[in-house]
């Protein structure tokens, strides 16, 4: 959106439905009906060339005839007519238009051209354009229902839902009705020709009734803007997002391991982590988690008590909690004694607390009160399997007052369907998170835990090093011909680039004959390695372009000739420009680190298992660049390579810190040098104690200007 006023979206003084229909089978009828039935307090106007009256209101034949006040237009007319209608809206002074009509870019090139015409018209009048192909918007508290979906709308709640799919909007509203879990607002983005996901996020962030913001996303219009804005609000309001299309690579056949591994999934996952956005795998997770985040007064950092009337579900809960990284609370001796006094002898007072099938509502209430008073317990899961002697609703009656008084999060797992329906209704009416199975309740507790961890680290800043010489790096690039044409930098230029950021590389010599290779090897001292170099040869080992552990002059001569012949045989069109000679490095561990520029989210830095199998193993993690200390720690903790750095007895803490510093410096490099498209160190050799990491092989590519 180009700085146009969008505040009228949920604060309009007057709304006009253009394309309101008298035919009850038409979407234009549904749009008009929902607006009237929502009891919207502002002025409501209808436009249709046929005129007449609809829902006891006049239907104007033209938007030019509609009186003031008028801020917002909802347009549902055939797609070819929309540009003309937008022109009329602009002339009328309307500043925001929701185009509900379909038939635009989603249909092909012709529709795309029509969509661009709509955008041009809207911009001419400084008009904010939502859609096209939008289901509409609703606000349950205003109230306002400006969608054409079948009534009734969702009940009022505290969760905002933003979606790029109209069909998902319809299913979410139906889900909210059936589950008795309300929405605060809903925004259907449609094709996002103008108003996009970040603009909608801004609307939800400013809404006092929206305590949790949820998103269903298929793509990003501006990933970097989304990340910056989300980062500003997640410490005040949690954001849950589900991104589809995750496993389609964002880039095709990029000629480095880093580029090949940096798909769109890694980019948006890194962006979500930086911004504190909670990533969901399904719509069910979105609304299961949002219950907990909206209704629990605080996040939780760990120990959980499980109260149940059946042993099996208690065991399932314990397993689920462990999978989610949570722990069962160790109950205080006083707590255990009080439980003994209130339960049958056969009951289990070891967490999970199994009260047995005979548990009465009073026992549920008393035992819950006892464990809530235990300082070792930070949260509770209450499991209700329909008691054989009591209605589940009576258990809810006994439990609800206690949960409403405590500040500790309490999750309910009411197992069953019809027999627990009344209890579920009572819990949700009291704003107590309620799930069908212990596994879902454990997942919700895990999200509260993740939220607590995020809130405990406010204001983390990316690391930059003052000794990094950006000017020297720019000079190294200016002297390269590919700076103008784009492409892979010469090896010597890459080493100068890295050294400008204080990333040390292994000394090399570039040679063009076997004799020169022997001379270089003697200077280094045996053993040495020989490697082919060509800008068109990203993976040298695949074509026999690498020879290692060469021990004498004769082997150097033979290796040089073998490299040339092997590359010529495997890649007849590629010319080996020269051969690199370097000393052999005895690495304790080989890792890869690199950086790449994502078209949506900007620069990313990568770390993982290195060597020739980097792409096959795919043991890598990504973060936005420049990176924070915590993000690099995350990359270490979530890769086998990083975990090995911590446990390898041949390495020590300073060496691990040195590897981290190289990753941080590489992240700073790509963030500060926009002409770099991708850069890679593979392998980065981690040496024995007393020796710093060594960049064994390096590559970098600049963008076409």
Confidence of residue 477 (pLDDT cuts 50, 70, 90): confident
**pTM value > 0.85:** yes
Are 641 and 659 spatial neighbours (Cβ–Cβ below 8 Å)?
A: no
In a domain, 216, yes or no: no
Query: Which of 525, 523, 528, 511 has its CA nearest to residue 579?
Result: 511
pLDDT of 612 reads 65
> Which candidate, 104, 106, 105, 101, places its Cα nearest to that of 134?
101
Which of 275, 119, 82 lies closest to 195, judged by CA?
Answer: 119
* Statement to judge: residues 402 and 521 lie in one domain: no
Number of domains in the chain: 3
Q: Which of 142-151, 212-221, 539-548 has the lowest mean pLDDT?
A: 539-548
Residues 444 and 512 in one domain: no
What is the C-alpha radius of gyration for the chain, rounded to an integer number of angstroms?
31
Please say if the pLDDT value at position 57 is more than 80.
yes
Last residue of a domain, one of 455, 481, 516: 455
Q: Using alpha carbons only, what angle is made at residue 325 by residues 323 and 326, rounded to the nearest 5 degrees? A: 105
For residue 96, give Cα distances in angstroms to 11, 33, 159, 191: 11, 21, 24, 16
User: Residue 301 CB: number of other CB atoms within 10 A?
Assistant: 15
Same domain, 187 and 54: yes
CATH at residue 50: 3.40.50.720
Residue 502's alpha-carbon distances to 58, 496, 498, 672, in angstroms, are 74, 10, 6, 14
Question: Whole-angstrom Cα distance, residue 118 to residue 89?
Answer: 12
What is the model's pLDDT at position 388? 86
Given pLDDT bands bounded at 50, 70 and 90, which one contains residue 8?
low
In a domain, 220, yes or no: no
391 and 514: one domain?
A: no
pLDDT per position as a tens digit, 658-699: 999 999 999 999 999 999 999 999 899 998 766 779 899 899
438 plus 518 within the same structural domain: no
Calculate helix-pair angle for 166-179, 283-295, nearest 10 degrees. 50
Characterise 90 by phi-psi region: left (phi > 0), alpha (psi -120 to 50), beta (else). Answer: alpha
Tens of pLDDT, residues 365-401: 999 999 999 999 999 999 999 988 899 999 999 999 9
Task: Print the domain residue range for 538.
Answer: 507-584
Residue 417 and residue 532 share a domain:
no
> Would you say residue 259 lies in a domain?
no
pLDDT digits (tens, 9 = 90+) for 241-278: 999 875 544 333 333 444 455 557 889 999 999 999 99
CATH number, domain at 359?
A: 3.40.50.261
Instruction: Give the integer Cα–Cα distance in Å for 402 and 307.
Output: 14
Q: Are residues 431 and 517 in the same domain?
A: no
Query: Who's near 110: CB < 8 A, 6+ residues apart?
Result: none
Give the pLDDT of residue 251: 36
Residue 649: band (very low, low, confident or very high) from pLDDT cuts 50, 70, 90: confident
Tell whether 440 and 330 lie within a shared domain. yes
Locate tokens 């056949």: which residue?
A: 253
Instruction: State whether 527 and 423 are in the same domain.
Output: no
Q: Nearest 5°: CA angle at 13, between 11 and 19?
A: 100
- Of the candidates 283, 169, 161, 280, the one whose C-alpha atom is nearest the C-alpha of residue 213 is 161
Tens of pLDDT, residue by residue over 311-328, are 999 999 999 999 999 999
H helices of 125-222, where? 166-179, 197-205
Which residues, at least 6 apart from 347, have a Cβ–Cβ distance to it below 8 Å?
A: 339, 353, 354, 355, 356
**Residue 296 has what pLDDT?**
92
% pLDDT > 70, the chain: 94
Question: Which CATH number is 530's domain given?
Answer: 3.30.1490.20
409 and 523 fall within a common domain? no
| Final residue belonging to a domain, choices 173, 188, 210 | 210
Cα distance between residue 86 and residue 129, in whole Å:
9
Q: Examine residue 246 and state whether it is found in any structural domain, yes or no.
A: no
User: Is there a domain that residue 56 lies in?
Assistant: yes
**Does residue 569 form part of some domain?**
yes
Query: Does residue 222 fall inside a structural domain?
Result: no
Q: So what's the pLDDT on residue 467?
A: 96
pLDDT, average across residues 220-224: 91
Helix (H, G, I), strand (E, B) or coil at 610: coil
In a domain, 431, yes or no: yes
Same structural domain, 429 and 538: no
DSSP per-residue string spanning 195-260: S-HHHHHHHHHT-TT-SEEEEEES--S-HHHHHHHHHHHTTTS-EEEEE-STTS-SSSS-SSHHHH
56 and 179 share one domain: yes
The predicted model gives 481-493 an average pLDDT of 80
Assign 339 to helix, strand or coil. helix
Question: Which of 411, 428, 455 is the C-terminal boundary of a domain?
Answer: 455
Mean pLDDT of the 505-517 span: 93
């Amino acid at each position: 959106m180009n700085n146009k006023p969008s505040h009228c979206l949920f604060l309009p003084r007057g709304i006009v439905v253009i394309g309101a229909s008298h035919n009850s089978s038409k979407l234009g009828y549904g749009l008009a009906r929902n607006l009237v039935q929502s009891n919207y307090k502002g002025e409501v106007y209808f436009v249709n060339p046929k005129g007449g009256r609809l829902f006891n209101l006049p239907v104007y034949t033209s938007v030019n005839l509609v009186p003031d006040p008028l801020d917002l237009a909802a347009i549902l007319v055939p797609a070819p007519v929309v540009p003309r209608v937008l022109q009329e809206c602009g002339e009328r002074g309307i500043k925001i238009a929701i185009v509900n009509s379909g038939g635009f870019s989603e249909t092909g090139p012709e529709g795309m051209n029509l969509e661009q015409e709509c955008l041009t018209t809207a911009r001419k009048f400084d008009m904010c354009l939502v859609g096209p192909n939008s289901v509409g918007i609703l606000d349950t508290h205003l109230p306002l229902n400006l969608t054409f979906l079948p009534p009734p709308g969702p009940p009022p709640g505290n969760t905002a839902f933003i979606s790029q799919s109209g069909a998902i909007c319809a299913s979410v509203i139906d889900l909210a009705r059936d589950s008795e879990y309300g929405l605060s607002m809903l925004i259907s983005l449609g094709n996002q020709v103008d108003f996009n996901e970040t603009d909608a996020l801004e609307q939800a962030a400013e809404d006092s009734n929206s305590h949790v913001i949820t998103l269903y996303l298929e793509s990003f219009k501006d990933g970097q803007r989304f990340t910056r804005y989300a980062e500003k609000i997640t410490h005040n309001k949690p954001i849950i997002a589900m991104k589809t299309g995750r496993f389609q690579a964002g880039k095709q056949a990029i000629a480095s391991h880093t580029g090949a591994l940096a798909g769109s999934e890694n980019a948006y996952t890194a962006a979500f982590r930086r911004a504190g956005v909670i990533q969901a795998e399904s719509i069910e997770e979105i609304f299961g988690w949002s219950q907990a985040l909206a209704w629990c007064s605080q996040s939780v950092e760990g120990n959980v008590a499980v109260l149940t009337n059946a042993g099996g579900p208690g065991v399932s809960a314990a397993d689920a909690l462990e999978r989610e990284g949570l722990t069962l609370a160790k109950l205080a001796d006083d707590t255990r004694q009080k439980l003994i006094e209130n339960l049958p002898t056969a009951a289990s007072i070891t967490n999970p607390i199994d009260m047995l099938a005979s548990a009465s509502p009073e026992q549920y209430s008393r035992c819950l009160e006892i464990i809530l008073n235990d300082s070792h317990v930070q949260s509770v899961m209450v499991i209700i399997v329909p008691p054989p002697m009591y209605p589940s609703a009576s258990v809810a009656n006994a439990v609800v007052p206690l949960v409403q008084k405590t500040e500790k999060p309490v999750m309910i797992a009411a197992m069953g369907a019809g027999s627990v329906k009344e209890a579920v209704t009572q819990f949700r009416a009291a704003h107590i998170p309620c799930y069908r199975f212990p596994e879902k309740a454990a997942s919700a507790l895990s999200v509260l835990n993740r939220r607590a961890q995020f809130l405990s680290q406010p204001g983390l800043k990316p690391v930059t090093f003052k000794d990094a010489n950006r000017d020297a790096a720019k000079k190294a690039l200016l002297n390269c011909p590919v700076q103008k044409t784009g492409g892979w930098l010469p090896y010597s230029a890459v080493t100068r680039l890295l050294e400008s950021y204080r990333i040390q590389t292994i000394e090399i010599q570039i040679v063009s004959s076997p004799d020169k290779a022997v001379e270089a090897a003697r200077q280094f001292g045996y053993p040495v390695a020989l490697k082919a170099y060509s800008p068109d040869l990203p993976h040298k080992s695949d074509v026999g372009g690498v020879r290692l552990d060469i021990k004498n002059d004769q082997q150097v001569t033979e290796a040089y000739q073998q490299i040339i012949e092997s590359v010529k045989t495997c890649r007849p069109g590629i010319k080996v420009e020269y051969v690199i000679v370097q000393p052999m490095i005895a690495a304790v561990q080989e890792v890869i680190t690199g950086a790449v520029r994502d078209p949506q989210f900007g620069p990313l830095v990568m770390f993982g298992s290195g060597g020739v199998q980097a792409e096959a193993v795919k043991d890598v993690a990504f973060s936005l660049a420049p990176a924070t200390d915590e993000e690099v720690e995350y990359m270490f903790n979530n890769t086998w390579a990083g975990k090995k750095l911590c446990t390898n007895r041949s390495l020590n803490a300073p060496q691990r810190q040195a590897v981290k510093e190289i990753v941080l410096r590489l992240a700073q490099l790509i963030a500060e040098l926009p002409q770099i498209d991708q850069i890679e160190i593979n392998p980065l050799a981690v040496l024995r104690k007393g020796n710093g990491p060594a960049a064994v092989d390096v590559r970098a590519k600049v963008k076409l200007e």
